[in-house]
Amino acid sequence: MDTRQIHREDLKPGECLCDHCSAKCCKYFALPIDTPKTREEFDYLRWYLLHDQATAFVEDGSWYLLVHTVCKHLRPDNRCGIYNERPQVCREYSTTNCEYEDDWVYERYFETPEQVDEYVEAVLPPKRRHTFRGRRPPLLPIIG
């Protein structure tokens, strides 16, 4: 059995790329999120990543929450079980720019809350430490 992946440019006229694909587009969804700028906003990002199957990435300067989950209508042959009734977002999706080739690279990719912490420490100013001491009292006058 030949397990080599066919290249896009090698498709025969009328042949569909989806016939050779692992259906990556049906195994996740990504939602745009506001660019985090404060520690509190990055803490929300950390919270997302505390959930199973969630990651985050940055692409072309935009931030996304990525949820790795399989569409409930994806059949074992990696084809759509509701193709004729599929949602509009699926109808508009094209194989022209799909992720078939497996060579996707993001500007930034976060899989764990710890990675977010490291990123925050690298890009935000140091966190002010809380102290239990009061303000320094004024100096006493010099008596001479």
Which of the four pLDDT bands, split at 50, 70 and 90, describes residue 4? low
Q: Is residue 94 part of a domain?
A: yes
Strand 62-67 vs strand 54-59: parallel, antiparallel, or unpaired?
antiparallel
pLDDT higher than threshold 70 for residue 3:
no
Q: Between 28 and 2, where is the model more confident?
A: 28
Query: Among residues 104, 68, 77, which one has the least CA distance to residue 23?
Result: 77
Query: What is the per-residue pLDDT for 12?
Result: 84
Q: What is the mean pLDDT of residues 21-27?
A: 89
Q: Is residue 26 part of a domain?
A: yes
Q: How many domains does the chain have?
A: 1
pLDDT higher than threshold 90 for residue 140:
no
| Burial class of residue 20 in the structure, from the number of CB atoms within 10 Å of its CB (0-12 exposed, 13-18 middle, 19+ buried) | middle
Q: Is residue 138 part of a domain?
A: no
Q: What is the pTM of this model?
A: 0.76
Q: Between 43 and 101, where is the model more confident?
A: 43
Q: Is residue 67 part of a domain?
A: yes
Q: What is the mean pLDDT of residues 100-129?
A: 88
Q: What is the mean pLDDT of residues 7-35?
A: 87
Q: Is residue 8 part of a domain?
A: no
Q: Is residue 130 part of a domain?
A: no
Q: Is residue 57 part of a domain?
A: yes
Which structural domain, as residue segments, surrounds residue 100? Answer: 14-123
Query: What is the per-residue pLDDT for 130?
Result: 66
Q: What is the mean pLDDT of residues 18-27?
A: 87
Q: Is residue 21 part of a domain?
A: yes
Q: In this predicted model, what pLDDT tens digit does every residue of 64-100 receive, in sequence order? A: 999 999 999 999 999 999 999 999 999 998 887 777 7
Query: What is the per-residue pLDDT for 127?
Result: 77
User: Could you tell me what percentage of the chain is helix, strand and coil, using 3-state DSSP and rounding each to the nearest 5?
Assistant: 30, 15, 55
